[in-house]
Amino acid sequence: MIMIRQRTLAKSIITHFRSIKFESTESTQTNSISPVNSAHLLRVCTILYQQQNSPESRLHSNLNSCDFQLNHEFFLQVCNYFPLSWRPLYRFFKYTQTHPHFVHTTVSFNKMVDVIGKSRNIDLFWEILHEMGRRRLVNDQTFRIALKTLAKARELKKCVEFFHSMNGYGFDYSLQTLNRVVQTLCGCKLVEEAKFVVFKLKDWIKPDVFTYKYLIEGFCDVGDLIEASKVWNLMVDEGFEPDTEAVEKMVETLFKINRYDEAMKLFQAMRSKRMEDLGLSTYRLVINWMCQRGKIAQAHLMFEEMRKRGIAADNLTLGSLLYGLLARGRVNEAYKVFERIEKPDINIYHSLIKGLLRLRRASEATQVFREMISRGCEPIMHTYIMLLQGHLGKRGRKGCDPLVNFDTIFVGGLVKAGKLLEATKYVERTLKSGVEVPRFDYNKFLHYYSNEEGVLMFEEVGKKLREGGLVDLADIFERYGEKMATRDRRRNRVL
At 27 the pLDDT is: 36
Residue 471 maps to a domain: yes
Residue 440 included in any domain: yes
In this structure, the answer to whether residues 329 and 417 fall within a common structural domain is: no
Same structural domain for residues 345 and 420?
A: no
Residue 42 inside a domain? The answer is no
CA dist., res. 138 & res. 95, Å (int)? 22
Reported as a single tens digit per residue, the pLDDT across 382-413 is 888 888 878 777 555 444 444 445 555 566 66
- 284 and 362 assigned to the same domain: yes
Domain boundary among 346, 377, 408: 377
The number of domains in the chain is 2
Total-model pTM: 0.71
294 Rama sector, left if φ>0, alpha if ψ -120 to 50, beta otherwise: left
Mean pLDDT calculated for residue range 351-378: 87
181 falls within a domain: no
Residues 356 and 439 in one domain: no
pLDDT band at 428 (very low <50, low <70, confident <90, very high): low
pLDDT digits (tens, 9 = 90+) for 33-53: 567 788 888 998 899 989 888
More confident residue, 411 or 246: 246
- Per-residue pLDDT reduced to its tens digit, 95-131: 998 888 888 999 999 999 999 999 999 999 999 999 9
Q: From 345, 377, 409, give the residue that closes a domain.
A: 377
Q: Is residue 300 a part of any domain in this protein?
A: yes
Same domain assignment for residues 369 and 403: no
Same domain flag for 436 and 370: no
Q: Which of 343, 377, 411 is the last residue of a domain?
A: 377
| Domain presence at residue 61 | no
97-100 contact pairs (CB < 8 A, 24+) = 98/60, 99/70
Question: Is the same domain home to 354 and 435?
Answer: no
Q: Is residue 233 assigned to a domain? A: no
Helices 209-221 and 191-200: crossing angle in degrees, nearest 10, is 150
Residue type (1 letter), 47: I
Residue 417 confidence class, pLDDT cut points 50, 70, 90? low
CATH of the domain at 298: 1.25.40.10
Is the same domain home to 403 and 339? Answer: no
Assigned domain for 94 exists? no
Residues 312 and 373 in one domain: yes
Backbone angles phi and psi of 309, in degrees to 5: -80, 0
Is the CB of residue 449 less than 8 Å from the CB of residue 434?
A: no
Mean pLDDT in residue range 204-229: 92
Give yes or no: residues 371 and 415 share one domain: no
For 328, the domain range is 279-377
